[in-house]
Chain A
Amino acid sequence: MTADIIVHNLHYSYPPLTPDGDPAPVLKGVSLEVQQGEFVALLGRVGAGKTTLCMALNGLVPHSTGGIFRGEVTVLGLDTKQHPVADMARSVGMVFQDPESQLVQMRVEDEVAFGPENLGVPTAEIEKRVTWALKAVGLADYRDRSPLLLSGGEKQRVAIAAMLAMHSRVLVLDEPTANLDPVGKAAVFNVLSGLCREHRITVFMATQELERIARFADRVLVLHKGQIALDGPPAEVFQHVTELQAWGVGVPQLVELGHVLTQRTRRSYHFTSMSDAYKQLRRQARKVRMRKSQGPFPPPPNHSANPLAALSQIVVENLSYTYADGTTALQEVNLILPPGEFVAILGPNGSGKTTLAKHFDGLLKPTKGRVLVERRDTRTARVAELARLVGYVFQNPDHQIFAPTVREEIAFGPRMQELPASIAGQRVDDALARFGLTPYADLPPALLGFGQRRQIALAAVIATQPKVLILDEPTGGLDGRSRQELLDVVAGFNALGRTVILITHDMRLVAEYAHRAVVLLNGRILFDGSPRALFHQPEFLDQAGLALPPITRLADRLAPEGMAPGVLSSAEFAAAWQARLPVKHKRKKKARRAPGKESPDHAG
């Protein structure tokens, strides 16, 4: 049987960004084969060419993008060079990141029927296909709904159904879950995995969802420097921790934990899944009979000790907000933020996170109650005035990018503040350097890659040196390294005593960076406290559709074995685990077992 997807020695360069520039090579000899029914995940850094490779599979590259194309792409026996995109659509279904730009109808069933109509499928047959496709993605009851009013996860499932209805046997998805909340992500992955198993659909998905790939994918491809650098089952590929981290792709948290434990204890740990990790560690715990420990956790930062804390920076009093169409987004919210905090605002989509944050810089004015920012009432203060205190990085960088060069883009904020030219110039240069954007300073920002556009958006806000920095979902679609770099800048900013407010779904970020977590549900505050305290109360997490980071879950499961619950990071876990390895006991064991065991040096 021939493979569903065959890519042979594919080279591709985009047309140059500027008229006198060089073509930008992206793919440099990609070869791969995918069999029917496989669930293949494509990993790689932002800008590594994942989207390009996906688009090459249905011929959008090069038919719609131009550029220089060499090599062969064959999907279900059709060569993309000879078949235009609309013809390839019979065999390849394509789902993009942004649901907004791929749903074109007013009713879900019309949406799903649109493809078959274009293929001239008879009416009775379309009806059958619509019913089947909607059932396959679990939306059988949604036929008469408006796609515009669905949640992000539901929209993406409609987009998948629309492809299935064309009887595409191959589904290519380009970061379909990057903008979804955890509930939406889980639904999309479940649907895809069901399609592979039950309907033998081939799934080829570019994504950054390391944890879910480890669970769902049959095979992982890593795109690095324009080539497929690693190829194999997740357990195998994720063993290359050093390479993956060096390339900036990152690894699932449990794999990272295995790596950290191996380094610290000089004993070999390889975890492929939660149950695997649990079994291995439990076995060890029972064999070695470990000490019970509360873990070497640092005490939670005590903000009341800070004399400045008395002067609260942001005060929210009985805030309610109702949109013009009557939707109530916030009800009776009370919140006090002292300066220098790192707060994560959590909650499912539609719970009011963004609405709340928009009150902090006056973009929205309270319907009831009030918001004070540095003792200014946002109801009377002008947005431009508040913008000097509060920097807001929006979820979509394209909403703010307008300047002809990166430098001018970043200089816009300082210019609006009417700073002297020398100071403004200095700040712009600093921001460019901090994000490694100096080489791009004179290029048009709108034409750069997504990861860079996101950095530019953040750099532009940082350059205004606000006292409060709000980030709305800053890491969606970013790879491990970009995410790390972005958060390091933000953490550095916070270390200067400035406030950071982070809206996110990423519990790993919350665990590793935030001092305080505020969970919103249906416009009310459900929880307000430290992340560790939040992780001790799974009922709140369940209500808000949030999941514990894998490492915290693992530690909690190991609690009966004496592990301290509420671990926040791999390093913490390793330290806690190590602290409990009894020194004497270990020596005895060492004699009987292979050399190279855990060392007590790091204990405590």
Chain B
Amino acid sequence: MRADFNLYVRRDTWLHRLDPRVKLAFVVEATALLFLWPSVRTAVGMIACCSIVLWLAQIPAPQIARAWRTMAPLMVMVFVLTALFAGGPSRVLFPIGPLKVTLGAVQQGALLATRLLALALIFFFWLFTTDQAAMVRGFLALRIPYDWGLTLALALRYLPIFAGLFQQVREAQQARGLDLEQRSFWQRLNAYRPVLIAMVISALRHSEHLGWALEARALGARGVRRSVFRPLHLRRGDVAVLILLLLTLTLKFGRRTGKLNAQRVGVGQGWQCPTPAQLYNVLFRTPRHVLLLTQDYAII
């Protein structure tokens, strides 16, 4: 039997025991830092920081490698596309046909790519070390409606199951003579149609049964305030980490106060926190496709 690949890695480290709210605070702060100080240095620093944290959490190396491998093609794509198309006024490194690869574009590409990886690692840290029930409790404690938390948790819980389902459906169709190998991209895309349809039917059946099972477990019983089996308590370690997080944040902002004379936010231009206008620039000057990809990945 193939073992299920869960995102959550069961370990007994202080990072695993950390209050889910504190971990969520880390995720939010790290993400904010990445976007407020858009520099390759911040991103690389964050990657290093996350790697250390993942190592401390005793996440096995293959699992971390898999996270890198998943991100690699996306990073390359983002880097290449940005370098080719971002253009900008800075020095032209070399022209390719009508396109000009500029220094600024290359730097921006590097920034986007590293930031993508940093973001992914931040979220992977969260998913690897927080079990789903703790995650939902964390959301609940932050006054996020229970249904939302449960939906996210179920989505995470069923991701590997659906991946397994896809594999089984593909094998079942291949065993009937469906040829998924050695053909052109479009042919293969077309060949995957039966797989996708069978997959959707199975997934629908699955979710119908899941709905029944949840109802049978009294989800949504009338006139009941849900109770919690393992309530959250902030312990000393949690508070310490929170303080640490707060400190780094204030330090970062503190360094900025001296340099209010912020320049245009670009790439590799120091550690300034951008003004709202600049933030807008960063977010919307980024080529749309790249931004969409980033968002998609942040959600996954």
* Chain A residues within 8 Å of B, Cβ to Cβ: 55, 58, 60, 64, 84-87, 89-90, 92-94, 96, 98, 100-102, 104-107, 109-110, 113-123, 126-127, 130, 146, 148-149, 162-163, 166, 323, 325, 327, 329, 349-350, 358, 361, 363, 382-384, 387-388, 390-392, 394, 396, 398-403, 412-413, 416-417, 446, 460-461, 464
Contact = CB atoms under 8 A, between A and B. Distances in A.
Contact of A89 (B173, B180, B221): B221
Given A98-B209, A106-B132, A384 B231 contact: no
B169 A399 contact: yes
Interface in B219-238: 219-222, 224-231
B61 interface: no
Contacts of B132: 105-106
Contact of A119 (B177, B210, B221): B221
Given A394-B172, A398-B201, A399-B168, 5 more contacts: A90-B221, A148-B160, A363-B174, A382-B181, A387-B174
B175 A394 contact: yes
8 contacts: A86-B220, A100-B161, A106-B8, A109-B229, A117-B229, A119-B224, A383-B180, A394-B175
A285 B228 CA distance: 65
B198 A399 contact: yes
A203 to B, nearest CB: 16
A55 B132 CA distance: 29
Contacts of A358: 171
Contacts of B176: 387, 391-392, 400, 412-413, 416, 460-461, 464
B217 interface: yes
B179 A384 contact: yes
Contacts of B228: 117, 123
B142 interface: no
A101 B210 contact: yes
A161 to B, nearest CB: 12
Interface of B: 1-6, 8, 10, 131-133, 154, 157, 160-161, 165, 168-169, 171-182, 194-195, 197-198, 201-202, 205-206, 209-222, 224-231
B177 A121 contact: no
B177 A89 contact: no
A118 B5 CA distance: 28
Contacts of B220: 86, 118
B6 A106 contact: yes
B210 A398 contact: no
Given A58-B216, A114-B217, A384 B209 contact: no
A364 to B, nearest CB: 9
Name the residue in A84, A116, A118, A166 with the highest tally of chain B Cβ atoms < 10 Å from its Cβ.
Answer: A118
Nearest to B178: A416
Query: Which 9 A-B pairs give the minimum distances between C-beta atoms?
Result: A416-B177, A113-B229, A89-B218, A384-B179, A102-B213, A392-B175, A402-B198, A94-B216, A402-B197
Contact of B215 (A85, A106, A361, A412): A85
Given A86-B222, A105-B132, A400 B161 contact: no
B225 A146 contact: no
A120 B224 contact: yes
Nearest to A115: B217
A510 to B, nearest CB: 22
B194 A412 contact: yes
Contacts of A120: 221, 224-227
A105 B229 CA distance: 13
A101 B206 contact: yes
Contacts of A110: 131, 133, 229-230
Contact of B201 (A104, A394, A401): A401
Contacts of A417: 177
A387 B202 CA distance: 23
Given A86-B218, A104-B157, A388-B177, A446 B201 contact: yes
B285 to A, nearest CB: 41
A122 B212 CA distance: 25
Nearest to A112: B229
Given A90-B218, A126-B227, A149-B3, A391 B175 contact: yes
Contacts of A162: 217
A275 B93 CA distance: 91
B55 to A, nearest CB: 21
Contacts of B225: 120
A387 B221 contact: no
A223 B218 CA distance: 29
B206 to A, nearest CB: 5
Nearest to A118: B218
B189 to A, nearest CB: 16
A127 B133 CA distance: 15
Contacts of B209: 96, 98, 101-102
Contacts of B133: 105-107, 110
A122 B174 CA distance: 51
Contacts of A114: 217
B177 A402 contact: no
A60 B215 contact: yes
Contacts of B10: 146
Contacts of B195: 402
Contacts of B217: 89, 104, 114-115, 118, 162, 166
Nearest to B203: A398
Contact of B2 (A89, A325, A391, A396): A325
B131 A107 contact: yes
A410 to B, nearest CB: 10
A387 B176 CA distance: 6
B215 A89 contact: yes
A383 B180 CA distance: 9
A64 B215 contact: yes
A143 to B, nearest CB: 11
A418 to B, nearest CB: 10
Contact of B168 (A109, A394, A401): A394
A143 B14 CA distance: 20
Nearest to A413: B176
Contact of B216 (A93, A98, A384, A412): A93
Nearest to A461: B176
A120 B222 CA distance: 11
B231 A123 contact: yes
A501 to B, nearest CB: 13
B159 to A, nearest CB: 12
A325 to B, nearest CB: 5
B212 to A, nearest CB: 5
Given A64-B212, A387-B176, A413-B176, A106 B157 contact: yes
Given A363-B171, A401-B198, A413 B177 contact: yes
A400 B177 contact: no
B300 to A, nearest CB: 18
A104 B213 contact: yes
Nearest to B7: A106
Contacts of B161: 100, 148
B39 to A, nearest CB: 37
A120 B146 CA distance: 13
A166 B168 CA distance: 35
Nearest to A416: B177
A163 B217 CA distance: 7
Given A89-B217, A110-B229, A166-B217, A361 B175 contact: yes
B215 A122 contact: no
B146 to A, nearest CB: 9
A516 B218 CA distance: 49
B227 to A, nearest CB: 5
A349 B206 CA distance: 22
Given A89-B217, A90-B221, A118-B217, A400 B173 contact: yes
A94 to B, nearest CB: 4
